[in-house]
Amino acid sequence: MQAVKNLQSVQMRPRKPAFRRAWLSWIGIVSVIALWQIVVWLRVYPEFIIPPPISVVERFWEALADGTLWLHTSTTVSQMLAGLLFGVVSAVILGTLIGKSRALEALLSPLIVAVQSTPVVAYAPLLVIWFGSGPTSKIVTSALIVFFPMLLNTMIGIRSVPVMMHDLMRSLHATRWQTFRMVEVPYALPVLLGGLKVSATLAVIGAVVGEFVMADAGLGRLINQARFSFDTPLVLVAVITLAAIARFMYGMISVLERRLLFWQRRQ
């Protein structure tokens, strides 16, 4: 019986910090809302600039009930996911190739850095003209914005494999595929997942920037529409929804990270 109790206490112990962290996150969110309400009470700004939290909540339920929020959120999420997929897949493929070839890096890096150093808002209008006002331009914007961090992390990951590991695989007469699968992927995975976390949040920005320029639907379009009709609570509803999507994506990739990198925790 005592052994079972001991086992339970051992199992419970690691959960405590996570539980505490979750509470701290909520305390942080509640504090921001409390501060927001205090600013409203103190009338630092008129209510049309900073509306009270309750009116944002009311507007949230209205937008949810009439289907507006779902329409725009689903559009943004689908475009973001497509952009993330294209951006990540192409970056991982190219990042792997560049990670293995210095010549390819020398050839492509000026171009890649040039694209990355240009703010997305500068070229988003051009993408809309080139790819049309439909979802393609938003997917391309999203893919471009996630491409660089993912590419960089893939390169770093591939190059993080110690030389002795390559020597070992060669001594075992391993094929290229075996080396890639058994050594390079496991070594690259932690860095790669770090890049994926950043990319997932950036993908939201990419999709929304495209929607700001021109769109029939999406949270960026909803923000524009709400701004021009002076509906500040609806602007905040859309902004908070975007933040929630980004946080959800981050959380999902953290879960994926824990599952894929289980061996790290064992170590």
Partner 1 sequence: MMRKAVMVLAAVVMIALGVTVTMAQETSDQTLFLTFVPNIQFSPFYVAIEKGYFAEAGFNVTIEHGDEPIGVDLIASGSRQFGIISGEQVIAARANGRPVVYVYQWFHQFPVAIVATENSGIESIADLAGRRVGLPGRFGASYSGLIATLSANGMTEGDLSLQEIGFNAPEVICIGGVEAAAVYVNNEPLQIQNRIDAGDCGSVTGIRVFPVSDYAAVVSNGLVTNEQTITENPELVGAMVGAIDQAVRDVLNNPAEAYLMSAAYVEGLPLSDDFRAWLEAESASASERGDASPLESVVYNQALRDALVDVSDRDAALQFEILLNTAALWANDPLGYTDPAAWETTAQTLITMGFLDEAPDLSGAFTNDFLPQIP
What residues numbered 137-176 form the site for partner 1, per CB under 8 A?
none
Q: Please, what is the minimum distance in Å from the beta carbon of residue 75 to partner 1?
A: 13
Instruction: Concatenate the DSSP letters of all residues of 145-209 into one string.
Output: HHHHHHHHHHHHHHHTS-HHHHHHHHHTT--HHHHIIIIIHHHHHHHHHHHHHHHHHHHHHHHHH
Nearest to 221 by CA among 212, 231, 230: 212
Closer to partner 1 at the Cβ: 147 or 212?
212
Residue 128 interacting with partner 1 (CB under 8 A) = yes
Pick 195 or 210: Cβ nearer partner 1 = 210
* Residue 55 binds partner 1 (CB under 8 A): no
**Residue 86 has what DSSP assignment?**
H
Size of the site for partner 1 (CB under 8 A): 23
Residue placing its CB nearer to partner 1 in the complex, 138 or 197: 138
Question: Among residues 12 and 129, whose Cβ is nearest to partner 1?
Answer: 129
Residues with Cβ within 8 Å of 7's Cβ and at least 6 positions away in sequence, in order, are none
Among residue numbers 175 through 234, which ones bind partner 1 (CB under 8 A)?
Answer: 213-216, 221, 224-225, 227-232
Q: Which is nearer to partner 1, 46 or 67 (CB)?
A: 46
Q: How far is the CB of 73 from partner 1 (least distance, A)?
A: 18
Distance (Å) of CA 34 to CA 39, 189, 217, 231: 9, 40, 32, 22
Half-sphere exposure of 220 (CA within 13 A, CB side): 23
The only residue of 11, 15, 46, 175 in contact with partner 1, by rule CB under 8 A: 46
**In the complex, minimum distance from the CB of residue 141 to partner 1, in angstroms, rounded to a whole number:** 14
Which of 1, 49, 164, 255: binder of partner 1 (CB under 8 A)? 49
21 binds partner 1 (CB under 8 A): no
**263 burial via Cβ count (<10 Å: 0-12, 13-18, 19+):** exposed
Tell me, what amino acid is at 106?
Answer: A
d(CA 241, CA 247): 10
Whichever of 55 and 78 has its CB closer to partner 1, that residue is 55
Identity of the amino acid at 239:
V
* Distance in angstroms (rounded) separating the CA atoms of residues 246 and 239: 11
Of 227-266, which residues contact partner 1 (CB under 8 A)? 227-232
Residue ranges binding partner 1 (CB under 8 A):
45-49, 125, 128-129, 132-133, 213-216, 221, 224-225, 227-232
